Chain A
Amino acid sequence: MLDVKKINLDFPILSRKINDKDLVYLDNSATSQKPQIVIDSISDYYENHVANVHRGVHTLSDESTDLFENGKQAISDFFGAKKHELIFVRNTTEAINGVAYGWGEANVISGDVILVSVLDHHSNIVVWQELAKRKSAQVQFIRVDENGLLDLNDLSKKLKMFNNKIKLVAIPHVSNALGTVVPIKKVVELVKAHSSQIRILVDGAQSAPHIKINFVTMGIDFFAFSGHKMLGPMGIGGLIVRDELLKTDEMRPWLYGGGMISEVHESHTNFHEDLSERFIAGTPDVASVDGLASACDYLTELGMQDVLEHDLDLVNYALQELNKVENVVIVGPNLDNISELNQDINNPDRVGSVSFLYEGVHAHDVAQVLDSQGIAVRSGHHCTMPLHTSQNWIATTRASFQVYNSREDIDKLVNALNKVKEVLL
């Protein structure tokens, strides 16, 4: 069990007032707030340790290099990955673009198929549409069922239909719009049973903050995440690549320059032999790496099992309470359409967020009224237009959770939703 009251004290921003009300921050799927320990790491770096890494022989350069290398080790440990499998990027979107340029350019050819899902965020769709355009390949979508779960039968059907043309399956671990958990293990089994040559990319932006990730045992090829959604700083994230793909050069650097080389001649360049160095072109963001490492420490200290348990409690409580609110219609996995929703902590169904329609009122107007009560939620299509279009939703309102949220926050949300009717209907 998390001590939410104590956790709240670690986040300075949570003591802010918004519109004269206590802030209730329920927009965590967009970005999370940062604990003091992360803020301090960044300040400490800029106050005491700034120097370029891997370049100088002076003391500050050593300290900076240590912070960077130890940070990288801590972050890769957090994800159950080898240190050299972790490539730093700015965010999940950049990680996915990295796969398109570092892997897709050389491995996807005319006529190939990239399988994505209707649940995917635009960043895991548009990148592949653009690669497909460059390569005369095509993007196909795995459908979702009426409860917002990934349709595994449709995956099997598409695997057969496009057979050996499929080069990549790109799916989210947790849907940012519906909170749906994609059963990665089952997807990997289905895909690998079909062909060991198909690569699997998992967009972990929404799972990394709540679910313990073990990259090695997941059996996938690429995992992308953002630091800022998991209590870390903005501007730092990771692409984890299975080391075999790095060793065989199937995945190559997509940014070139200093740092990532071993020798440069007028006629040619040899890249760094250390796989970990090969993907660092230019000066890295050391302060953010250190900040993200602190966020990983913070989550580990809380215990990822407790973090997930806490989140599932909030999701189920929110579903239970929101189901009672007049005019509110929950979208995605719900208590009445999935039996024993979220009861098995090892196989959760819905993580991180609850989205809903408010009948007769547009999501932006709902969010605006909630803001007047100090409650921050997201409204719109959450960068999932194909999902919204397929379900005929114009826009939805999403409440999403983090370790500092409590059942009391959800009670405040429910109370504020009753105000929507008062103001707008």
Chain B
Amino acid sequence: MDKLYHEDLLDEAKNPNNFGDLDNADFKTTSYNASCGDVISVAVKLSEDKKTIQDIKWKGHGCIISQASMSVLSEKIKGLSVENLQELTQDEILEGLGLEEISMGRVKCLLLGLSAVKKIV
């Protein structure tokens, strides 16, 4: 249990990176986890050539896993090209969270943020 809810992960969820909203967003998107009601909304500012993620803010509510993974993800994609967004994987998020694996029942929590981010085109 302590392996899953380790100190850094709890801290990531309690003090998430890039939490908030962007006034001048180029793109906004929201994903829901239908099985538990969790929500994550993402706002993105693109570079002038519209090819790179210049800034990202997100907000939402949910379990520790969904919030911490979105926090990690938001750091990861800042400066990333839009094209590369689609190549982000579950393993990269797990790695960012310092986890080796996640149970089947929590995969949706883990990927909620990623599903929102992948809608950015």
Contact = CB atoms under 8 A, between A and B. Distances in A.
B11 to A, nearest CB: 12
A369 B103 CA distance: 13
Given A364-B63, A364-B109, A395 B36 contact: yes
User: Across chains A and B, which 9 residue pairs bring their CB atoms closest together, nearest first?
Assistant: A362-B63, A380-B36, A364-B63, A372-B1, A381-B37, A395-B36, A365-B64, A365-B63, A423-B5
B36 A424 contact: no
B49 to A, nearest CB: 39
A137 B1 CA distance: 50
28 contacts: A362-B38, A362-B63, A362-B64, A363-B63, A364-B65, A364-B106, A364-B109, A365-B5, A365-B63, A365-B64, A365-B65, A369-B1, A372-B1, A379-B36, A380-B36, A380-B37, A381-B35, A381-B36, A381-B37, A394-B36, A394-B37, A394-B61, A395-B37, A395-B38, A423-B2, A423-B5, A424-B10, A424-B64
A424 B37 contact: no
A385 B2 contact: no
Chain A interface mostly helix, strand, loop or mixed?
helix
B80 interface: no
Given A380-B36, A423-B2, 4 more contacts: A362-B38, A364-B36, A381-B36, A424-B64
Contacts of A362: 38, 62-64
The residue among A361, A363, A372, A395 with the most chain B CB atoms within 10 A of its own CB is A395
A379 B38 CA distance: 12
B25 interface: no
Interface string B53-67: 000000001111100
B88 interface: no
A388 B36 CA distance: 10
Contacts of B10: 424
Interface string B2-39: 10110000100000000000000000000000011110
Contacts of B106: 364, 368
A385 B10 CA distance: 27
Interface string A343-376: 0000000000000000001111100110010000
Nearest to B67: A362
Contacts of A394: 36-38, 61-62
A393 to B, nearest CB: 8
Contacts of A361: 64
Contact of A363 (B1, B2, B36): B36
Nearest to B5: A423
B5 A424 contact: yes
Nearest to B34: A385
A400 B110 CA distance: 27
Contacts of A364: 36, 62-63, 65, 106, 109
Contacts of A385: 37
Most-contacted residue by chain B among A361, A363, A365, A380 (CB, 10 A): A365
A395 B106 CA distance: 15
Interface in B60-116: 61-65, 106, 109
